[in-house]
Structure 1
Amino acid sequence: MARSPSRMSHGQRDSRGALAAGALLFSIGPAALMVMPMIVGVYVDELGFSGRQAGLLASVDATGMFVASLLGMVWVRTLNWRLAAMLGLGGAVAGNLLAAGAHEFTLMLACRALASLGAGTAFAAATASLAEQSKPETAFGIGLAVETLLTMVVMALSAGIIEWQGIAGIFRMLALLAFVVALPVGWLPARSAKTAPVGQPPPSPDPATVAPVAAGLIGTMLFYAGVLGFWVYLERIGQAAGHSNHLIGTILAWSLAAGVLGGIGPAWLHGRGGIARPNLLAILLLMATVLAAVGKVTLPVFALSAIVFGALWVFATAYQAALIATLDRNGRYAVLIPAAQGAGAMIGPAAAALLIQGDEYVAVNLIAAAFLAVSLLLFRVAQRGLGPPGPVALSSNQPME
């Protein structure tokens, strides 16, 4: 009797090599967005682009990631993931190297589109690979921890690189990063263990399965609308409370560092508590930290809120991705996780901006808490797709009958 695809590929999908390759590749997707605040200024100061043109270039990087994730649904069940990752990374390397020599707006726009679509494709392959792990919460947590560490390194190096080589140096750094993370791509699984065996038609989408996944993806979008809407304005909230720029910058750096602890949290828990409960608890605590930072908040409370927020944001993200991966019985929809996150990242700051009045940022806290509350309800709906509570349904990505 032929073994199921899941059993045939279990060792491959859970190997340390597959986890390491997926975690490294996971960091390439948002790499350009990490340094975007610095790049936007250099677009204007060095290349002479207008503020509007600089904003359009920044939006192309974000949009490319979003589109690449949507396109992932087309190839995730048919195309070899290693090939998809290599094609994406090749596009990222080429786009960034071409951007390093571009000085005209239209050419730069095309280069950034190529680079972001390539990085987004590799990011989608990494997401699909990590979703295959039997402990996806641990896999995504490690991927997010690596991504956060890389963010800290890239941000620390960016100012010096810009001073040394200008904006071309940043794009060369991004090209080098894409080349480095391509080295272990051969360890990725070739395709999903959930895919139907060769010669058998793929199963039709089951509405009973699709509905919980959709709730999880929409919940992810609203969660990111809440956390990004708050994060983008956290520095302004600190300033409005009367704290110095130096202290605020230090606190934000510690908040970013706390994200590493949030990423390794699922590995430390090792399945204890399942995949649904830790996410719900983290969202409740995030709502509390957001509301604690309302108004003229004292420095200790501001610092504690920011640092706890940084850890819980990453911690919850790992469990949300794991929940969607476990609900996605056919390996079709987990690749949309980056698209949901990206959509939320666009919605949250825009919604907060519409409600800000002068130097008062209370509306930012309230709209962020509201987004988080609705996401909590949607994740409650999504977790019903796990079935009755149990060690398999709540804490693993094992195949379900």
Structure 2
Amino acid sequence: MQKNETSTGGLPSAQDAGANPWGLWSAILAVAIFGNLFTAASPIFWGGFSEYLGLSDALIGQVMSAEYSGATLATITGLFFVHRPTVDLRKITYIALAVYAGGNFLTPAVMHDATWLEMLRFVCGFSSGITYVISAAVIPGQKHANRLVPVFYGSAYITGAVLQPLLPSVFAHWGFDASFRLMGLLAAAALVTYFYFPRHANGHVEAGKKSPTTVRQSLPALLVVVVALLLQYIANSGLWLYFERIGVVSGHDAQTAANVVGLGTGIALIGVALATVLATKLKPFSGIVLGTLLMAGSVVMLHFSQSLPVYVSAISLINIMTTFVTPFYFILLARIYQPAKAVVSGNIAVMVGFTLGPLLLGYTVGDDSFAAAINATLALLAISMVLLSIYVLSARLRGDRVLGSHARSEHSA
């Protein structure tokens, strides 16, 4: 017997009757991972463009910006169609995945023409953005969605942890252009999961069945939580860019600082594991508060980065809490508004946060001092908690039950 997940504060469930949850999970994760390989390994590709093609940092920045701009535009576009029951998301997703595969295969042919390279990477970015936003939007309708969310949002860290150490060897032994053909091949291979991918978000296949959730959809509540998530990512991404520099300024040599930052990226997978386990035990709000408080404590530790153990602990804990907090935000978003729209809105907030973070916190850095940037990060985290407190208060005044129930999935396996 299956009990409905929404009655316990988890994500709304609208699984296709008789669908294989393992097939669904595999298809969603395959599309998200193999449709976004370049993004997950961007720092390594930056070095590859510089070393093997001799491109200037300014030109590499333009190429990277074209890719990210395409992905951001695709995410925003998702607001207009992912929630519609008449749209076949499976077809759109796999067309985008095929375009992404083809774009990677074609990239070596335009590597020495900057204009064509930027245009093609924009198309690849748009395609990858479509695959990612649709994959995110269909998750709330799947069985045991609360466990899938942390794995999904940690997939980029998993991919980065695997690819980043391997790619330099690929560049050296098979050529820089071979890496793009490899990405194209992997994306093409993921097309075999086509028949397992959901056609619609939020269980539109079960149209006519009334959702048992007792939570009233509130646009103001959605906006408050989305802004809180945006501030969280402005803080995270802004400070993340300066992790290595903070170590060097604090007296550690460049190689040591780089090793610490690399370790922190890999260790972020601990946050994915913790969120996967606790997503069915903690309320979303509780998970966000716990993770943000621990993150704030680790940010404070950066003031004392002269000590190598403190520096390592701070970097590691910030990364762990980033991957821990994010899934709880998306579980909460899917509980307070129409899930597909809420998830897309959250993804827009994340991408905008990544874009604005380094720019805004850059204004607080001067004379090799990061004290103001660290304090600004703490302020952003504090404001995000204030906004969530406003949401809690307003939800209680409305009498919504979501705050008093655990995000526990009671689906049978």
**TM-score, normalising length from structure 1?**
0.87
Q: Kindly indicate whether residue 229 of structure 2 is the aligned counterpart of residue 217 of structure 1.
A: no
For residues 392 and 11 of structure 1, what CA distance do their matches in structure 2 show? 29
2:280–2:409 Cα contact (<8 Å) kept = no
Which region of structure 1 is more displaced relative to structure 2, 381-390 or 75-84? 381-390
1:179 to 181, 188, 191: 188
Residue-by-residue CA offset, 1:48-100 (whole Å, 9 max, x unaligned): 44432221111111111111111112221232121121011012111111112
**Offset at residue 291 of structure 1 (A):** 1.3
Match of 1:54 among 35, 57, 60: 60
What is the SS of the residue equivalent to 1:272? coil
* 119-128 or 147-156: bigger deviation: 147-156
CA shift in 2, pair 1:348/1:86, >3 Å: same
Q: What's the CA shift string for 1:309-367, capped at 9, x where partnerless? A: 11111010111111112222363231232221110011111112112112112122122
Structure 2 equivalent of residue 40 of structure 1:
46
Q: How does 1:195-214 map to 2 (within 5 A)?
A: 195=204, 209-214=218-223
* Selected match of 1:88 from 89, 96, 103: 96
Kindly provide the amino acid, as one letter, of the partner of residue 263 in structure 2.
Answer: W
The corresponding residue for 1:203 is none
For residues 2-401 of structure 1, what are the structure 2 equivalents within 5 Å? 9=15, 11=17, 15-28=21-34, 30-78=36-84, 79-102=87-110, 103-133=112-142, 135-193=144-202, 195=204, 209-329=218-338, 331-383=340-392, 384-385=394-395, 388-389=400-401, 393-395=405-407
Distance 1:176 1:380, change over 3 A: farther
Distance 1:259 1:247, change over 3 A: same
* TM-score of the pair, normalised by structure 2: 0.85
User: What do residues 128-174 of structure 1 show as CA deviations (whole Å, max 9, x unaligned)?
Assistant: 12232355432111223433221111101111122234431232232
**Quick check: 1:348–1:368 contact (8 Å CA) kept in 2?**
no
Aligned partners of 1:226 and 1:368 also within 8 Å: yes
Task: State whether residues 148 and 257 of structure 1, in contact with CA within 8 Å, keep that contact through their aligned partners in structure 2.
Answer: yes
| 1:249 shift after superposition | 2.9
- The AA in structure 2 aligned to 1:81 is L
Cα distance 1:145–1:41, how it changes in 2: closer, same or farther (>3 A)? Answer: closer
Matched residue count: 389
| Cα 1:154–1:108 shift into 2, 3 Å | same
Partners of 1:10 and 1:198 in 2: CA distance: 11
Q: Is the 8 A contact 2:146 2:409 kept in 1?
A: no
Q: Which 10-residue stretch deviates more, 231-240 or 259-268?
A: 259-268
Q: Relative to 1, partners in 2 of residues 1:396 and 1:82: Cα closer, same or farther, differing over 3 Å?
A: farther
Indicate how the Cα distance of structure 1 residues 250 and 296 shifts in structure 2: closer, same or farther if over 3 A, else same. Answer: closer
Q: Using a 3 Å threshold, how does the CA distance of structure 1 residues 380 and 187 change in structure 2: closer, same or farther?
A: farther
CA distance in 2, matches of 1:38, 1:183: 28
Change beyond 3 A, Cα 1:70–1:29: farther
Alignment partners' CA distance in 1, 2:56 and 2:342: 39
Counterpart amino acid of residue 237 in structure 1: I
Cα 1:184/1:44, change in 2 over 3 Å: same
Distance 1:257 1:42 in 2: 21
- Note the C-alpha offset of 1:17: 2.0
Unaligned runs of 5+ in 2: 5-11, 210-214
Q: CA deviation at 1:220?
A: 1.6
For the residue of structure 2 that corresponds to 1:348, the secondary structure is helix
Measure how far apart 1:36 and its partner are. 2.2
Task: Confirm or deny: 8 A CA contact 2:333 2:339 kept in the other structure.
Answer: no
CA pair 169-382 structure 1, distance change in 2 beyond 3 A: farther
Helix, strand or coil for the counterpart of 1:347? Answer: helix
What secondary structure sits across from 2:268 in the alignment? helix
Whole-angstrom distance in 2 between the partners of 1:12 and 1:288? 46
Q: Rate the CA distance shift 1:158–1:277 in 2: closer, same or farther, 3 A.
A: same
- CA separation of 1:155 and 1:91: change in aligned 2, threshold 3 A: same
Q: 1:361 to 1:323 in 2, by over 3 A?
A: same
Taking the aligned partners of 1:95 and 1:50, their CA distance within structure 2 comes to 23
How many angstroms does 1:239 deviate by? 0.9
For the residues of structure 2 that align with 1:364 and 1:163, how far apart are their CA atoms? 38
Q: Answer yes or no: is the 8 Å Cα contact 2:171–2:179 preserved in 1.
A: yes
The alpha-carbon distance between structure 1 residues 308 and 340, as it changes in their structure 2 partners (threshold 3 A), is same
CA-CA distance at 1:300 after TM superposition: 0.7
Whole-Å separation in 2 of the counterparts to 1:340 and 1:137? 20
After superposition, the Cα gap between the structure-2 partners of 1:199 and 1:270, relative to the gap in structure 1 and judged at 3 Å, is: closer
